[in-house]
Amino acid sequence: MKLFDVYPLFDITPVKGQAAYVFDEKGERYLDFYGGHAVISIGHSHPHFTNALKSQIDKMIFYSNSVQNPLQKQLVEKLGKLSGCEDYQLFLTNSGAESNENALKIASFHNNRTKVLSFKNCFHGRTSAAVNITDNPKVVAPINKGFESVMTDFNDIEAAVSVIEKGDCTAVIIEGIQGVGGIHVANEDFLIAIKEACHKTNTVLILDEVQSGFARTGHFFAYQKVKGFEPDIVSMAKGMGNGFPVGGVLIHHKFKPSYGLLGTTFGGNHLACTAALAVLEVIEEESILSNVQKVGAYLLSQLKEINEIKSIRGEGLMLGLDFGKPVADLRKKLVFEAKIFTGSAKDGNTIRLLPPLNIGKQEVDTLIDGLKKCI
Ligand SMILES: Cc1ncc(COP(=O)(O)O)c(C=O)c1O
């Protein structure tokens, strides 16, 4: 048998991870400014995280959602407290796409509509509904086109509001910061305007924080830079489990649950809850939010000194470096010569930086040296 060959691979085989570094089978060390695609939030093999998982493995890995699971209760309490979203309800999933899929279902159950507004350059995942509202026709199969989806320009208030005000959308879905699309930040005015239009028309506002959530931007969720802003639903995954597959949706208290409305076999299993809890404990104990703000500001100041970078977008430790020309060769040089992993973006001119959130100035200096040598 062969693997279904859908991933272009770098010829590197990481076998071990430690903090901000991964090591290949020859012992070569790589600085991880990609975080396995924004997944590694508290660092590779963080001892608190691995010990929590090891001890849970010895007790119980999984039982179904038909019995009490105290770990889910601990998780919901801790997440509510740290995110400031105590008024929301939590439904646990296994991935980002599945979180968005459930978010869209809740919206459609709520207002009985099917049309969705999303934004150019967005990425929401590859499952059936999530991919139909993603801006990449190449990954949308005919079977995915089961409902009407509309896309307007990101940050274009007039265009978005005129679609929402027609009153026939079930939901508007927006990334707090567009990730795959090349790191584009949603303007405060834009978020406020679409929220108001949604409120007027009983349209559900979904904030996709799969990539930008869990402290990555220096706020727990990227949208929280707008004081008092309350989306109807927030979807999460990636950094939530630091590499263990876990996702979730935060659902505003105005949506009432009923038995069987949503469900999953694996979502909220014992190991997944342990992983997410351990991540939250580290975020709290190691003051990760303030580290992201501090190190993010230092990283930005150092990047601004590099003239070849035409623009820098993003917040905290979620940055896009636009070189105004293709960056594929530069990324290769960074990996093979400087031994630094970075992320690509849909536009081809942008390098994405998505390092673990507990890096320090030393890792930033190594990146800056590597960039200067490879440019
Ligand atoms: C903003 C956003 N939403 C959803 C997804 C899909 O997440 P997953 O790959 O876990 O299904 C991604 C993945 O990159 C993402 O960046």
Task: Name the residue of 183, 238, 344 whose CB sits within 8 Å of the most ligand 1 atoms, as the mutation to test its pocket.
Answer: 238
How far, rounded to the nearest angstrom, does the alpha carbon of residue 345 sit from its chain's CA centroid? 14
354: containing domain: 14-42+289-374
22 domain-assigned: yes
pLDDT in tens, 318-345: 999 999 999 999 999 999 999 999 999 9
Same domain, 154 and 182: yes
Token readout for 153 is 């320009």
Helix (H, G, I), strand (E, B) or coil at 322: strand
Same domain, 280 and 293: no
Same domain, 274 and 132: yes
Same domain, 27 and 176: no
4 domain-assigned: no
In whole angstroms, give the CA distance from residue 111 to residue 119.
21
Same domain, 175 and 190: yes
Same domain, 231 and 305: no
78 domain-assigned: yes
pLDDT in tens, 125-163: 999 999 999 999 999 999 999 999 999 999 999 999 999
Ligand 1 centroid, distance to 173 Cα (angstroms): 13
Which residue's alpha carbon is nearest to atom 16 within ligand 1?
Answer: 211
pLDDT in tens, 64-84: 999 999 999 999 999 999 999
Same domain, 56 and 190: yes
Locate tokens 């969705």: which residue?
Answer: 116
Which residue's alpha carbon is nearest to atom 7 within ligand 1?
Answer: 96
Same domain, 305 and 211: no
Token readout for 39 is 């997944």
Are the beta carbons of 144 and 128 closer than 8 angstroms?
yes
Same domain, 134 and 214: yes
3 domain-assigned: no
Same domain, 324 and 191: no
Query: What is the count of structural domains for the chain?
Result: 2
6 domain-assigned: no
pLDDT at 99: 98
Same domain, 271 and 304: no
Ligand 1 centroid, distance to 283 Cα (angstroms): 21
Atom of ligand 1 nearest to the CA of 238: 10
Are the beta carbons of 352 and 183 closer than 8 angstroms?
yes
Residue 41 phi, psi (nearest 5)? -95, -45
pLDDT in tens, 220-272: 999 999 999 999 999 999 999 999 999 999 999 999 999 999 999 999 999 99
Alpha helix locations (H) across the chain? 35-38, 47-59, 70-83, 96-111, 128-132, 157-164, 188-201, 270-285, 288-303, 328-336, 361-374
- What lies within 8 Å, CB to CB, of 331 at 6+ separation is 342, 344, 351
Same domain, 56 and 177: yes
2 domain-assigned: no
